[in-house]
């Protein structure tokens, strides 16, 4: 089925992204994975080429391009070279951190931070998850108490993507001890603030070169001009930006599934067994047919979601549907593709083995599959 999502401009941009990946990522990616770290200068190079940060307005050094189809192109090209750690890192900046800065920051805050994001000098992170609170944002225990013109922050965060390399962390903290829907607020904590410490770099199952860490806040004094959005509206701010985060997750899920399917289809054509390519066996053909069909169907929903997001019409419920379905599909596709590779699929030198480990987080972060179904179910119950 012909895909009609992209224009000639998007395809021209794809050539730029693909050349960047082949030049700056492919020769080095295995070393980054072994070292469990992505060098900071890659962000500088990527920003210079417009690989991320396109939505930053021109006045702050960006291009002001808000068409999400360009983000889809980046996802597809990063996953085409099987660099999921990098896809997650870039997605964190574009689909999450920058969305908060662009839509919630004051003009003065934008002037302080956006130019450095536009050049790749500043890396961001989101500090929401805590040891005892993941999907349950109401369970957050990090506190912020006002003291004069400052807010004093105390608490701990965990599983923070880019936590080691981040220069700015948007931290969710409780500002009303009595709880309720207006008990949370958002604060920009900057590297070097006294009392802000980074814990260990966490040893994960996958995404080796994408740093993830614990963060600690011990009486960190955050000036009032580092409040993001409005005090007491943190929960609403976070809920409003979940569709863009989840769209990023399922854009990557579909791109990953497609990339692994493509290498598997080639493998099945090349791999000989019993005197013929294994793709000539009916069982293998049926497996490939089922996978191809599922990816095409998921891609159709993704394309519809992208156009809805561009129009400002992608709802939290629709994003939840796409997130849980495609991330679960991604796991199924990669698992079946690994099986088709046989013993070679278990070898780390094969892309399918690395993808098997990297993709496992997809049904967990950004809201678990169970939470996505709860969001959808509550919406359906409310329609009765």
pTM equals: 0.95
Homologous superfamily assigned to 236-382 = Butyryl-CoA Dehydrogenase, subunit A, domain 3 (1.20.140.10)
At residue 63, the pLDDT reads 92
Residuewise pLDDT in 10s, the chain (384 residues):
788 999 999 999 999 999 999 999 999 999 999 999 999 999 999 999 999 999 999 999 999 999 999 999 999 999 999 999 999 999 999 999 999 999 999 999 999 999 999 999 999 999 999 997 776 777 789 999 999 999 999 999 999 999 999 999 999 999 998 877 689 999 999 999 999 999 999 999 999 999 999 999 999 999 999 999 999 999 999 989 889 999 999 999 999 999 999 999 999 999 999 999 999 999 999 999 999 999 999 999 999 999 999 999 999 999 999 999 999 999 999 999 999 999 999 999 999 999 999 999 999 999 999 999 999 999 999 876
At residue 377, the pLDDT reads 97
Determine if residue 219 is left, alpha or beta; phi over 0 gives left, psi from -120 to 50 gives alpha, anything else beta: left
> For the chain, which residues make up each domain, given as ranges?
8-122, 125-232, 236-382
In the three-class reduction of DSSP (H, G, I as helix; E, B as strand; rest coil), residue 5 is classed as coil
At residue 355, the pLDDT reads 98
Give CA separation, 312 vs 66, 235, 250, 306, in Å. 11, 20, 18, 10
The string of DSSP codes covering 56-79 is S-GGGTS-----THHHHHHHHHHH
The H or E element containing residue 297 is: helix 282-310
At residue 180, the pLDDT reads 72
Q: Is residue 77 classed exposed, middle or buried when 0-12, 13-18 and 19+ CB atoms within 10 A define those classes?
A: buried
Count of Cβ atoms closer than 10 Å to residue 118 Cβ: 23
DSSP at 271: -
- Per-residue tokens: 107: 């003009």
The widest CA-to-CA distance across the chain, in whole angstroms, is 79
At residue 384, the pLDDT reads 63
DSSP at 167: S
Residue matched to tokens 């923070």: 160
What whole-number distance in Å separates Cα of residue 61 and Cα of residue 76?
A: 25
List residues with catalytic annotation: 245
CATH architecture of 8-122: Orthogonal Bundle (1.10)
CATH architecture of 125-232: Beta Barrel (2.40)
Q: What are the φ and ψ backbone dihedral angles of 325, each rounded to 5 degrees?
A: -70, -45
In the three-class reduction of DSSP (H, G, I as helix; E, B as strand; rest coil), residue 222 is classed as strand
Contact indicator for 112, 122 with CB cutoff of 8 Å? no
Q: Where are the beta strands (DSSP E) in the chain?
A: 124-127, 143-147, 150-161, 168-174, 184-190, 196-201, 212-223, 227-228, 272-273, 276-277
DSSP at 48: H
What whole-number distance in Å separates Cα of residue 298 and Cα of residue 324?
A: 11
What whole-number distance in Å separates Cα of residue 63 and Cα of residue 58?
A: 5
What whole-number distance in Å separates Cα of residue 208 and Cα of residue 53?
A: 23
Q: What are the φ and ψ backbone dihedral angles of 38, each rounded to 5 degrees?
A: -105, 125
């Amino acid at each position: 089925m012909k895909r009609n999502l992209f224009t000639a401009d998007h395809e021209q941009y794809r050539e730029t992204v693909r050349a960047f990946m082949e030049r700056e990522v492919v020769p080095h990616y295995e070393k980054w994975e072994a070292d469990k770290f992505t060098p900071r200068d890659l962000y500088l190079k990527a920003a210079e080429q417009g690989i991320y940060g396109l939505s930053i307005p021109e006045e702050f050094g960006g291009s002001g391009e808000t068409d999400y189809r360009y983000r889809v192109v980046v996802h597809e090209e990063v996953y085409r070279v099987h660099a999921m750690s990098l896809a997650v890192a870039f997605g964190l900046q574009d689909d999450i951190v920058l969305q908060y800065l662009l839509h919630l920051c004051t003009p003065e805050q934008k002037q302080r931070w956006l130019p450095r994001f536009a050049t790749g000098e500043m890396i961001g992170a989101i500090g929401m998850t805590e040891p005892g609170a993941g999907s349950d944002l109401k369970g957050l225990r990090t506190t912020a108490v006002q003291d004069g013109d400052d807010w004093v922050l105390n608490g701990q965060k965990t599983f923070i993507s880019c936590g080691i390399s981040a220069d700015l962390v948007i931290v969710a903290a409780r500002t009303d001890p009595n709880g309720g829907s207006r008990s949370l607020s958002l604060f920009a904590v900057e590297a070097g603030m006294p009392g802000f410490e980074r814990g260990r770099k966490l040893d994960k199952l996958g995404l080796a070169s994408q740093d993830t860490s614990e963060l600690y806040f011990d009486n960190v004094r955050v000036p009032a001009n580092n409040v993001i959005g409005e005090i007491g509206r943190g929960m609403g701010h976070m809920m409003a930006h979940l569709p863009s985060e989840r769209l990023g997750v399922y854009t990557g899920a579909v791109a990953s599934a497609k990339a692994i399917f493509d290498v598997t289809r080639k493998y099945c054509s090349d791999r000989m067994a019993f005197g013929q390519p294994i793709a000539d066996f009916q069982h293998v053909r049926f497996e490939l047919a089922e996978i191809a069909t599922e990816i095409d169907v998921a891609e159709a929903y993704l394309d519809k979601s992208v156009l809805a997001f561009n129009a400002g019409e992608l709802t939290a419920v629709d994003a939840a549907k796409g997130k849980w379905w495609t991330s679960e599909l991604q796991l199924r596709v990669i698992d079946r593709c690994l099986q088709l590779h046989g013993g070679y699929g278990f070898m780390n030198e094969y892309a399918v083995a690395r993808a098997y480990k990297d993709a496992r987080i997809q049904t967990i972060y950004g809201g678990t599959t169970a939470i996505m179904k709860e969001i959808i179910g509550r919406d359906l119950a409310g329609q009765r």
